[in-house]
Amino acid sequence: MSEPGNIGGFRPRRYRTDGGGPDFGRMIEALRRIQDGITAADAPEGVVTEVADMLEKVAAAVEPYEVDEEGMIAGRRVDLPGRGQALIPPLEYDEWDEDHVVARCSMGRFYLGANGAAHGGVIPLVFDEVLGRLANTGRPVSRTAYLHVNFRAITPIDAPLRVTGTVVRIEGRKRFLTAALHHGDTLCADGDALFVALNPGQP
């Protein structure tokens, strides 16, 4: 498997891996547990008050260390599930090259829409994440121009999911990709996307 950190375009110094510093991965894993736990809980008043107090302390502990985008860790730790960005489901990559990707994830209660199904907005998020990284692997940086998603069956939460992405063709600056999300043999969603390589100076 190619290292998913080797993405063309984005400046290499923006990627980070565990350099023996603070255990950022443990902190994000705890944050993910909090997201799932709070979303799932119907706790008594005393517990809600206690948790609110603790979370306010947590916020106060990290706020003095805010940095600008260039210095951020979250979203740059390509060695961590979901790049260490707690918005993104904890994707783990099994196969990765310039033409295709295969990833796994399970979405916890934080990603629930209703009736055991993942929120419909999470699926485009997953596709944009996986296809965006694939589109930019070994190529200059591009951005999503469109992303069309078909919801074929509900996507269960707390279940093993498989995400695949494929580069279909490249025409100049335009990169056409497809994605699919499976639970077992069930196709939950698929989609197709256009990524356009940025011109110099484009943000």
Interacting residues with ligand DCC (CB under 6 A): 10, 14-15, 76, 78, 128-129, 132-133, 143-146, 173-174, 194, 196, 198-199, 202
- Least Å distance between CB 5 and ligand DCC? 7
Question: Please, which residue, 112 or 137, has the CB nearer to ligand DCC?
Answer: 137
Question: Please, which residue, 170 or 198, has the CB nearer to ligand DCC?
Answer: 198
Question: Please, which residue, 107 or 112, has the CB nearer to ligand DCC?
Answer: 107
Q: Which two tokens stand for residue 2?
A: 């190619």
Residue positions counted in the chain: 203
- Least Å distance between CB 65 and ligand DCC? 20
Question: Please, which residue, 89 or 132, has the CB nearer to ligand DCC?
Answer: 132
- Least Å distance between CB 115 and ligand DCC? 28
50: phi then psi, degrees, rounded to nearest 5: -65, -45
Give the 3-state secondary structure of residue 17.
coil
- Least Å distance between CB 40 and ligand DCC? 28
> What's the DSSP call for residue 67?
-
CA dist., res. 188 & res. 180, Å (int): 8
With beta carbons less than 8 A apart as the criterion, state whether 155 and 181 touch.
yes
Give the 3-state secondary structure of residue 41.
coil
With beta carbons less than 8 A apart as the criterion, state whether 96 and 1 touch.
yes
Indicate the residue whose CB is closest to ligand DCC: 132
Q: Which two tokens stand for residue 162?
A: 């498989």
Question: Please, which residue, 140 or 184, has the CB nearer to ligand DCC?
Answer: 140
